[in-house]
Amino acid sequence: MDLKETSREKLGKIGKNPSFFASVKHALDGIGIILKEEKNMRSHALFGLIPLLLAWFFGSSPMEWIVIIFCIFLVIIMEFLNTIFENVVDLVTDYEYHPLAKKAKDIAAGAVLVTAFFAILIAAIIFLPKFLELYYKLI
């Protein structure tokens, strides 16, 4: 049996999604899994509400809304990718320590951290002037 036969045999067991709706169901299952199993994802989702509330409170411009929403989704997407990397590394290493596995996981986690810092920087650029303006109005 050659490699192509093995691959077809495995694909037959896995199967393709029979419809668009089946694909959406699997995608929603993935979102549910990451929200249920990953504490950091729940934290990112909750912290993502803060700039949305601030944008509403300060009456942010449409462009500010776009940038804020983009940053929130960028952090969430990076957390998805980090979780994917962690799961694939664990699968390949069978949960055994390997220096390259640690390196891959650390780099993926670093990507999330850099993205979160980027989002915080953007939030500071947008909201700090608004906070200062509010502060000076109140004093």
Select which of 9, 37, 64, 79 is catalytic.
79
Q: Residue 64, annotated ligand binder?
A: no
Domain annotation covers residue 17:
no
Q: Residue 106, annotated ligand binder?
A: yes
Domain annotation covers residue 25:
no
Determine the structural domain holding residue 60 and report its residue range.
39-138
Q: Mind listing the pLDDT tens digit of every residue in the chain (139 residues)? A: 445 555 556 655 667 888 999 999 999 999 999 999 999 999 999 999 999 999 999 999 999 999 999 999 999 999 999 999 999 999 999 999 999 999 999 999 999 999 999 999 999 999 999 999 999 999 9
Give the chain's count of helices (H) and strands (E). 5, 0
Domain annotation covers residue 79:
yes
CATH number at residue 113: 1.10.287.3610
Domain annotation covers residue 10:
no
Number of domains in the chain: 1
At residue 84, the pLDDT reads 97
64 is catalytic: no
The torsion defined by the Cα of 50, 35, 92 and 81, in degrees rounded to 10, comes to: -40
Q: Residue 97, annotated ligand binder?
A: yes
